[in-house]
Amino acid sequence: MRIALYQPEIAGNVGAILRLAACLDVPVDIIDPCGFAFSDKKLRRSGMDYAERVVIARHTDWSAFRSAAPGRLILMSSKGSVPLESFRFSPGDTLLMGQESAGVPDDVRAQCDAAIRIPMAAGLRSFNISVATGIAMFEALRQTGSLPKG
């Protein structure tokens, strides 16, 4: 199980996701370009010292990521057709999170094995990306019996 961030734009969100990944013991793929310098102090502050415990793979672009990505690619999207609670995860899945402002382009969406959404109250647009990542990754790890034992 992995988390992939498609061209992330906000350092604080990436830091929070790195902290989440450390706590859940999952690696993170970052697909460049990022909308901030990876040394950004907001990234360090939100990731705290947890980010040092995450296996991070940086990819120069979508093509480089696709050639390295193992297993199924599961897009998390507010426009996803399958509700989170109905989807069945596999241990080798990678959860792909799109850009905070725009999600992913149609050609990226087309290459995903599934697009799932987290149900929410009517009239609201989306969760914060770090919150959505936490909700989805916890459910994926729960389903596959892969939650940390600590």
- Tell me, what CATH number does 134's domain have? 3.40.1280.10
Structure confidence at residue 44 (pLDDT): 67
Domain that holds residue 83: 2-143
Structure confidence at residue 52 (pLDDT): 81
Tally of domains within the chain = 1
pLDDT tier at 46, thresholds 50, 70, 90: low
Residue 7 lies in a domain: yes
Comparing 18-27, 42-51, 69-78, the range with the smallest average pLDDT is 42-51
Measured CA to CA, the distance from residue 65 to residue 28 in angstroms comes to: 12
Residue 90 lies in a domain: yes
Average pLDDT over residues 63-90: 96
Measured CA to CA, the distance from residue 108 to residue 46 in angstroms comes to: 28
Residue 16 lies in a domain: yes
34 contacts 17 by C-beta, under 8 angstroms: no
Neighbours of 18 (CB within 10 A): 26
Residue 66 lies in a domain: yes
pLDDT tier at 47, thresholds 50, 70, 90: low
Residue 20 lies in a domain: yes
Residue 150 lies in a domain: no
Q: Which helix (H) or strand (E) holds 96?
A: strand 94-97
